[in-house]
Copies of this chain bind each other. A is one copy, B any other.
Amino acid sequence: GTARMGVAYNGNDGVKDWNFSSRIRVKFTLSGQTDGGLEFGASLRADQANTANSTGAAGAAYISGAFGKVSMGDTVGASEALFGDLPEVGYTDLDGAGFGAAAMHLGQNRPNLGANEIPYLTGDDGGTQFDGYNSGPNVLYTGTFGAYSIAASMSDGKDTGREGQKSPNGSVDQEAAIAAAYTFGNYTVGAGYEFISGANGMEDKSQAELVGTAAFGNTSVKAYYAKGGKANTLDQGYGLGVTSVFGATTVLGYVQHIENSFDGPMSQDGTTYGIGAAYDLGGGASVVGGVADSDIDGTGTQADLGMKFSF
Protein backbone atom coordinates (compact mmCIF):
# COMPACT_ATOMS: atom_id res chain seq x y z
CA GLY A 1 0.00 0.00 0.00
CA THR A 2 0.86 3.65 0.02
CA ALA A 3 0.30 6.54 2.39
CA ARG A 4 1.08 10.22 2.34
CA MET A 5 0.80 13.10 4.79
CA GLY A 6 1.72 16.75 4.71
CA VAL A 7 0.49 20.25 4.02
CA ALA A 8 -0.80 21.49 0.68
CA TYR A 9 -1.59 24.97 -0.61
CA ASN A 10 -4.45 25.50 -3.04
CA GLY A 11 -4.44 28.94 -4.65
CA ASN A 12 -7.61 28.45 -6.71
CA ASP A 13 -10.25 31.17 -6.57
CA GLY A 14 -12.30 30.94 -3.41
CA VAL A 15 -9.81 28.72 -1.61
CA LYS A 16 -6.32 30.24 -1.32
CA ASP A 17 -5.40 28.35 1.80
CA TRP A 18 -3.10 25.72 3.27
CA ASN A 19 -4.59 22.40 4.31
CA PHE A 20 -3.49 19.26 6.00
CA SER A 21 -3.78 16.45 3.51
CA SER A 22 -3.27 12.76 4.08
CA ARG A 23 -4.33 9.65 2.24
CA ILE A 24 -3.90 5.92 2.69
CA ARG A 25 -4.36 3.22 0.11
CA VAL A 26 -4.02 -0.51 0.49
CA LYS A 27 -3.43 -2.40 -2.73
CA PHE A 28 -4.19 -6.09 -3.05
CA THR A 29 -2.17 -7.78 -5.72
CA LEU A 30 -3.33 -11.26 -6.64
CA SER A 31 -1.46 -13.46 -9.10
CA GLY A 32 -1.21 -17.04 -10.26
CA GLN A 33 0.11 -19.19 -13.07
CA THR A 34 -1.65 -21.81 -15.17
CA ASP A 35 -0.12 -25.22 -15.76
CA GLY A 36 0.67 -24.02 -19.27
CA GLY A 37 2.76 -21.10 -17.98
CA LEU A 38 0.34 -18.21 -18.53
CA GLU A 39 0.32 -15.65 -15.75
CA PHE A 40 -2.92 -14.19 -14.48
CA GLY A 41 -3.84 -11.82 -11.75
CA ALA A 42 -5.81 -8.89 -10.51
CA SER A 43 -5.26 -5.80 -8.44
CA LEU A 44 -7.77 -4.05 -6.26
CA ARG A 45 -7.37 -0.94 -4.20
CA ALA A 46 -8.92 -0.10 -0.84
CA ASP A 47 -8.96 3.63 -0.28
CA GLN A 48 -9.38 5.64 2.84
CA ALA A 49 -12.81 7.13 2.98
CA ASN A 50 -13.24 10.70 4.20
CA THR A 51 -10.90 12.12 1.59
CA ALA A 52 -11.77 14.01 -1.51
CA ASN A 53 -10.24 11.21 -3.53
CA SER A 54 -12.22 8.26 -2.24
CA THR A 55 -13.71 6.56 -5.22
CA GLY A 56 -14.06 3.39 -3.23
CA ALA A 57 -11.99 0.84 -5.07
CA ALA A 58 -10.62 0.38 -8.52
CA GLY A 59 -9.01 -2.63 -10.07
CA ALA A 60 -8.26 -4.66 -13.15
CA ALA A 61 -7.86 -8.34 -13.95
CA TYR A 62 -5.30 -9.62 -16.47
CA ILE A 63 -3.83 -12.62 -18.18
CA SER A 64 -0.37 -12.53 -19.72
CA GLY A 65 2.03 -14.74 -21.62
CA ALA A 66 4.46 -14.61 -24.51
CA PHE A 67 1.67 -13.01 -26.55
CA GLY A 68 1.57 -9.98 -24.27
CA LYS A 69 -0.91 -8.95 -21.58
CA VAL A 70 -4.68 -8.48 -21.73
CA SER A 71 -6.24 -6.41 -18.90
CA MET A 72 -9.88 -5.68 -18.25
CA GLY A 73 -11.48 -3.30 -15.79
CA ASP A 74 -10.23 0.13 -14.78
CA THR A 75 -7.50 0.30 -17.39
CA VAL A 76 -6.00 3.27 -19.17
CA GLY A 77 -6.15 3.66 -22.95
CA ALA A 78 -3.52 2.29 -25.31
CA SER A 79 -1.59 5.57 -25.68
CA GLU A 80 -1.43 6.21 -21.94
CA ALA A 81 -0.41 2.58 -21.34
CA LEU A 82 2.71 3.01 -23.48
CA PHE A 83 3.64 6.64 -22.79
CA GLY A 84 2.26 7.63 -19.40
CA ASP A 85 2.05 11.24 -18.25
CA LEU A 86 4.56 13.98 -17.54
CA PRO A 87 6.26 13.63 -14.12
CA GLU A 88 4.16 14.25 -11.00
CA VAL A 89 5.42 16.98 -8.72
CA GLY A 90 4.53 17.35 -5.05
CA TYR A 91 3.43 14.68 -2.67
CA THR A 92 -0.23 15.15 -3.65
CA ASP A 93 0.37 15.45 -7.44
CA LEU A 94 -0.97 19.05 -7.40
CA ASP A 95 -3.71 18.46 -9.95
CA GLY A 96 -5.55 21.62 -8.96
CA ALA A 97 -3.71 23.84 -11.43
CA GLY A 98 -4.61 21.61 -14.34
CA PHE A 99 -7.07 21.76 -17.20
CA GLY A 100 -9.56 19.52 -15.43
CA ALA A 101 -9.98 22.05 -12.63
CA ALA A 102 -10.64 24.91 -15.01
CA ALA A 103 -13.62 26.01 -17.00
CA MET A 104 -12.18 24.55 -20.16
CA HIS A 105 -14.39 22.28 -22.20
CA LEU A 106 -11.46 19.89 -22.36
CA GLY A 107 -12.04 18.89 -18.79
CA GLN A 108 -15.54 17.69 -19.42
CA ASN A 109 -14.55 14.35 -20.84
CA ARG A 110 -11.12 14.11 -19.27
CA PRO A 111 -11.84 13.89 -15.55
CA ASN A 112 -8.27 13.25 -14.44
CA LEU A 113 -6.67 16.07 -16.41
CA GLY A 114 -4.21 17.37 -13.83
CA ALA A 115 -1.53 19.90 -14.61
CA ASN A 116 1.02 17.21 -15.49
CA GLU A 117 -1.27 14.86 -17.36
CA ILE A 118 -1.12 14.43 -21.11
CA PRO A 119 -4.66 15.03 -22.47
CA TYR A 120 -5.32 11.52 -23.78
CA LEU A 121 -8.75 11.14 -25.31
CA THR A 122 -9.71 7.68 -24.03
CA GLY A 123 -9.29 5.44 -20.99
CA ASP A 124 -8.57 6.48 -17.40
CA ASP A 125 -11.00 4.98 -14.90
CA GLY A 126 -12.00 2.36 -17.42
CA GLY A 127 -13.65 4.56 -19.98
CA THR A 128 -14.35 8.04 -21.22
CA GLN A 129 -16.81 10.05 -19.17
CA PHE A 130 -19.40 12.33 -20.68
CA ASP A 131 -22.32 13.96 -18.94
CA GLY A 132 -21.79 11.74 -15.91
CA TYR A 133 -21.87 8.57 -18.00
CA ASN A 134 -18.90 6.38 -18.65
CA SER A 135 -18.16 4.55 -21.88
CA GLY A 136 -17.93 1.32 -19.91
CA PRO A 137 -15.22 -1.13 -18.96
CA ASN A 138 -12.08 -1.03 -21.04
CA VAL A 139 -10.03 -3.91 -22.30
CA LEU A 140 -6.34 -3.18 -22.88
CA TYR A 141 -3.73 -5.23 -24.73
CA THR A 142 -0.02 -4.49 -24.39
CA GLY A 143 2.85 -6.44 -25.85
CA THR A 144 6.62 -6.00 -26.18
CA PHE A 145 8.50 -7.78 -28.95
CA GLY A 146 12.19 -6.91 -28.99
CA ALA A 147 12.54 -3.16 -29.54
CA TYR A 148 8.85 -2.74 -30.36
CA SER A 149 5.98 -2.20 -27.93
CA ILE A 150 2.37 -2.13 -29.05
CA ALA A 151 -0.91 -1.49 -27.29
CA ALA A 152 -4.59 -1.53 -28.21
CA SER A 153 -7.62 -0.68 -26.10
CA MET A 154 -11.35 -0.42 -26.53
CA SER A 155 -14.46 0.02 -24.45
CA ASP A 156 -17.71 -1.77 -25.00
CA GLY A 157 -19.65 1.44 -25.24
CA LYS A 158 -22.04 0.68 -22.38
CA ASP A 159 -22.69 2.81 -19.38
CA THR A 160 -20.70 1.35 -16.50
CA GLY A 161 -23.26 2.38 -13.96
CA ARG A 162 -25.86 0.28 -15.69
CA GLU A 163 -24.02 -2.81 -16.82
CA GLY A 164 -25.31 -4.30 -20.01
CA GLN A 165 -27.26 -1.23 -20.97
CA LYS A 166 -26.33 1.58 -23.25
CA SER A 167 -27.27 4.92 -21.73
CA PRO A 168 -30.29 6.17 -23.68
CA ASN A 169 -29.13 9.76 -23.40
CA GLY A 170 -25.37 9.30 -23.29
CA SER A 171 -23.31 11.14 -25.86
CA VAL A 172 -20.61 8.51 -26.24
CA ASP A 173 -20.91 5.20 -28.04
CA GLN A 174 -17.59 3.41 -28.05
CA GLU A 175 -13.93 4.23 -27.79
CA ALA A 176 -10.78 2.59 -29.12
CA ALA A 177 -7.08 3.37 -29.24
CA ILE A 178 -3.88 1.92 -30.68
CA ALA A 179 -0.30 2.86 -29.94
CA ALA A 180 3.19 1.68 -30.84
CA ALA A 181 6.69 2.55 -29.65
CA TYR A 182 10.22 1.76 -30.82
CA THR A 183 13.25 1.84 -28.52
CA PHE A 184 16.84 2.27 -29.71
CA GLY A 185 19.55 2.72 -27.09
CA ASN A 186 18.45 5.42 -24.66
CA TYR A 187 15.74 6.74 -26.96
CA THR A 188 12.11 5.73 -27.44
CA VAL A 189 9.74 7.17 -30.03
CA GLY A 190 6.10 6.29 -30.31
CA ALA A 191 2.74 7.25 -31.75
CA GLY A 192 -0.85 6.66 -30.73
CA TYR A 193 -4.29 7.12 -32.26
CA GLU A 194 -7.52 7.34 -30.23
CA PHE A 195 -11.12 7.45 -31.40
CA ILE A 196 -14.53 7.96 -29.79
CA SER A 197 -17.69 7.40 -31.76
CA GLY A 198 -20.51 9.69 -30.71
CA ALA A 199 -24.09 8.80 -29.92
CA ASN A 200 -27.40 10.64 -29.85
CA GLY A 201 -26.26 13.30 -32.29
CA MET A 202 -22.84 13.92 -30.77
CA GLU A 203 -20.08 13.85 -33.36
CA ASP A 204 -17.08 11.52 -33.40
CA LYS A 205 -13.76 12.60 -31.90
CA SER A 206 -10.25 11.51 -32.74
CA GLN A 207 -6.77 12.31 -31.52
CA ALA A 208 -3.21 11.40 -32.47
CA GLU A 209 -0.09 11.60 -30.29
CA LEU A 210 3.64 11.60 -30.93
CA VAL A 211 5.84 10.91 -27.91
CA GLY A 212 9.60 10.70 -27.48
CA THR A 213 11.73 9.93 -24.43
CA ALA A 214 15.46 10.12 -23.96
CA ALA A 215 17.88 9.38 -21.12
CA PHE A 216 21.13 11.36 -20.70
CA GLY A 217 23.12 10.17 -17.70
CA ASN A 218 21.02 10.92 -14.61
CA THR A 219 18.43 12.89 -16.58
CA SER A 220 15.46 11.62 -18.55
CA VAL A 221 13.25 13.72 -20.79
CA LYS A 222 9.77 13.08 -22.19
CA ALA A 223 8.13 15.22 -24.89
CA TYR A 224 4.75 14.85 -26.57
CA TYR A 225 2.65 16.43 -29.28
CA ALA A 226 -1.09 15.70 -29.49
CA LYS A 227 -3.44 16.78 -32.31
CA GLY A 228 -7.20 16.50 -32.10
CA GLY A 229 -9.45 15.67 -35.05
CA LYS A 230 -13.15 15.58 -35.90
CA ALA A 231 -15.20 17.10 -33.05
CA ASN A 232 -12.41 16.82 -30.48
CA THR A 233 -12.42 19.81 -28.12
CA LEU A 234 -8.60 19.64 -28.15
CA ASP A 235 -7.01 21.32 -31.13
CA GLN A 236 -3.42 20.62 -30.15
CA GLY A 237 -1.24 20.15 -27.10
CA TYR A 238 2.48 19.75 -26.49
CA GLY A 239 4.64 19.44 -23.44
CA LEU A 240 7.99 18.48 -21.96
CA GLY A 241 8.90 16.74 -18.71
CA VAL A 242 12.33 16.34 -17.14
CA THR A 243 13.48 14.11 -14.28
CA SER A 244 17.00 14.24 -12.82
CA VAL A 245 18.36 12.04 -10.07
CA PHE A 246 21.24 13.22 -7.84
CA GLY A 247 21.94 10.52 -5.25
CA ALA A 248 18.92 10.37 -2.92
CA THR A 249 17.45 13.55 -4.43
CA THR A 250 15.21 13.63 -7.50
CA VAL A 251 14.26 16.90 -9.18
CA LEU A 252 11.33 16.95 -11.61
CA GLY A 253 9.59 19.53 -13.74
CA TYR A 254 7.23 19.90 -16.67
CA VAL A 255 5.54 22.45 -18.87
CA GLN A 256 2.72 21.87 -21.31
CA HIS A 257 0.46 23.97 -23.51
CA ILE A 258 -3.03 23.02 -24.67
CA GLU A 259 -5.22 24.77 -27.24
CA ASN A 260 -8.99 24.44 -27.68
CA SER A 261 -10.44 23.65 -31.08
CA PHE A 262 -13.40 25.97 -30.70
CA ASP A 263 -14.08 29.68 -30.23
CA GLY A 264 -16.48 31.41 -27.87
CA PRO A 265 -16.64 32.60 -24.31
CA MET A 266 -15.82 29.17 -22.85
CA SER A 267 -12.77 28.71 -25.06
CA GLN A 268 -9.43 29.14 -23.38
CA ASP A 269 -5.95 27.95 -24.20
CA GLY A 270 -3.68 27.24 -21.30
CA THR A 271 -0.13 26.55 -20.18
CA THR A 272 0.67 24.58 -17.03
CA TYR A 273 4.01 24.09 -15.37
CA GLY A 274 5.34 22.44 -12.26
CA ILE A 275 8.59 21.83 -10.46
CA GLY A 276 9.33 19.65 -7.49
CA ALA A 277 11.82 17.55 -5.63
CA ALA A 278 11.86 14.32 -3.66
CA TYR A 279 14.38 13.12 -1.12
CA ASP A 280 14.53 9.37 -0.53
CA LEU A 281 14.77 8.47 3.17
CA GLY A 282 15.13 4.76 2.36
CA GLY A 283 12.81 1.94 3.30
CA GLY A 284 10.03 3.30 1.14
CA ALA A 285 9.72 6.76 2.75
CA SER A 286 10.50 10.02 0.99
CA VAL A 287 10.06 13.72 1.59
CA VAL A 288 8.35 15.26 -1.42
CA GLY A 289 7.41 18.84 -2.25
CA GLY A 290 6.46 20.82 -5.31
CA VAL A 291 4.84 23.84 -6.89
CA ALA A 292 2.50 23.83 -9.88
CA ASP A 293 0.74 26.68 -11.61
CA SER A 294 -1.00 27.65 -14.83
CA ASP A 295 -2.51 30.64 -16.61
CA ILE A 296 -5.96 29.05 -16.67
CA ASP A 297 -8.79 31.20 -15.31
CA GLY A 298 -10.02 30.09 -11.93
CA THR A 299 -6.88 28.21 -10.96
CA GLY A 300 -4.07 29.47 -8.78
CA THR A 301 -0.71 28.32 -7.53
CA GLN A 302 -0.62 24.88 -5.95
CA ALA A 303 2.13 23.86 -3.55
CA ASP A 304 2.75 21.13 -1.04
CA LEU A 305 5.37 19.54 1.18
CA GLY A 306 4.92 16.17 2.82
CA MET A 307 5.96 12.58 3.10
CA LYS A 308 5.13 9.63 0.90
CA PHE A 309 5.31 6.10 2.22
CA SER A 310 5.17 2.91 0.23
CA PHE A 311 4.92 -0.48 1.88
Contacts and interface: CB of A to CB of B under 8 A. Distances in A.
B55 A30 contact: no
Contact of A46 (B46, B50, B62): B46
A8 B164 contact: yes
Interface string A43-69: 110111111111111111111000000
A307 interface: yes
Interface of A is mostly: strand
A17 B166 contact: yes
A309 to B, nearest CB: 5
Nearest to A44: B24
Contact of A3 (B1, B10, B14, B42): B42
Contact of A163 (B33, B52, B281): B52
Given A41-B309, A61-B5, A281-B38, A164 B72 contact: no
A7 to B, nearest CB: 8
Interface stretch (A142-150, A178-186, A235-243, A282-290): A282-290
B20 A136 contact: yes
7 cross-chain pairs, A with B, having the tightest CB-CB distances, nearest first = A35-B282, A52-B163, A49-B56, A3-B42, A34-B281, A22-B72, A3-B61
